[in-house]
Amino acid sequence: MKAIIAPSLLSGDFAILAEECNRMLDLGADYLHMDVMDGHFVDNLTLGAPIIKSLRKHTKGFLDCHLMVSEPEKWVDDFVEAGADSYCFHFEATKDPESIIRKLNKTKTGAAISIKPKTNVEVLKPILDNKELKLNHILIMTVEPGFGGQKFMQDMMPKVKYLRENYPELNIQVDGGLDEGNVKVAAESGANIIVAGSSIFKSDDPKRTISLMRQAVNNSQ
């Protein structure tokens, strides 16, 4: 599986967000991870579709939108129109995840789905076994969603292993507390898309950090 490193712009400087996006791309990033929070599904409030639409005009980067919002079905059209490259919603936030995926599959925006730490990974099996549904990736949260800077939850790795063993061609993303010290564990468990915020943006050498994370994924395969 291709190694994909996705800096989380939640750790960037929002006053110069477009510049931060392009700086990350210049440093070797593959995706630009955009954390969308509504203050309801999680206790934090961040950016929305209008900001994604503005950024789309100023960066060619892959806008990987992670929606930590209630009723994500309400926002599909807005994010598709804004130019999101991927729309990742939470399984726990909707009563009908398959309908959201089907709707996204009719657009140029990739569909993705995430689960929180307390959610059993096997709830995704009916979705993953349905060949009519196309997914860009599955996101396994390795912290409780809502805030950056939390400690990596290594006990989430069995979920990643389950997915890699049962769906070997699946893109598996991990998000939360990833750094140079634990990325190897995530990669060896089967994750190939690494989201990292603080560890990249606060690094003395973010280019090196991105490179080391990519190397960890490549070496694990």
66 annotated ligand binder:
yes
pTM of the model: 0.96
33 annotated ligand binder:
yes
In one-letter notation, the amino acid at residue 52 is I
190 annotated ligand binder:
no
83 annotated ligand binder:
no
What percent of the chain clears pLDDT 70, i.e. is strictly above it? Answer: 100
CA distance 79 to 197: 22
12 annotated ligand binder:
no
Task: Please give the pLDDT value at position 149.
Answer: 73
Q: 175 an active-site residue?
A: yes
Task: Please give the pLDDT value at position 147.
Answer: 74
Two tokens at 53?
Answer: 């639409």
> Residue 39 — very low, low, confident or very high, per pLDDT cuts 50/70/90?
confident
Of 30, 35, 38, 85, the active-site residue reads: 35
> Residue 40 — very low, low, confident or very high, per pLDDT cuts 50/70/90?
confident
Task: Please give the pLDDT value at position 34.
Answer: 98
Exposure of 96 by Cβ count < 10 A (0-12 exposed, 13-18 middle, 19+ buried)? exposed
Of 30, 64, 85, 175, the active-site residue reads: 175
Task: Please give the pLDDT value at position 146.
Answer: 79
- Crossing angle between the packed helical segments 49-56 and 17-26, to the nearest 10 degrees: 60
Q: Containing domain of residue 33, as a range? A: 4-220
CATH code for the domain in which residue 185 is found: 3.20.20.70
Number of domains in the chain: 1
CA distance 61 to 119: 31
Task: Please give the pLDDT value at position 51.
Answer: 96
Per-residue pLDDT averaged across 114-141, rounded?
Answer: 98
Query: 143-170, pLDDT tens digit by residue?
Result: 998 777 789 999 999 999 999 999 999 9
Query: 165-203, pLDDT tens digit by residue?
Result: 999 999 999 999 999 999 999 999 999 999 999 999 999
148 annotated ligand binder:
yes
Q: 35 an active-site residue?
A: yes
Do residues 41 and 72 touch, judged by C-beta distance below 8 A? no
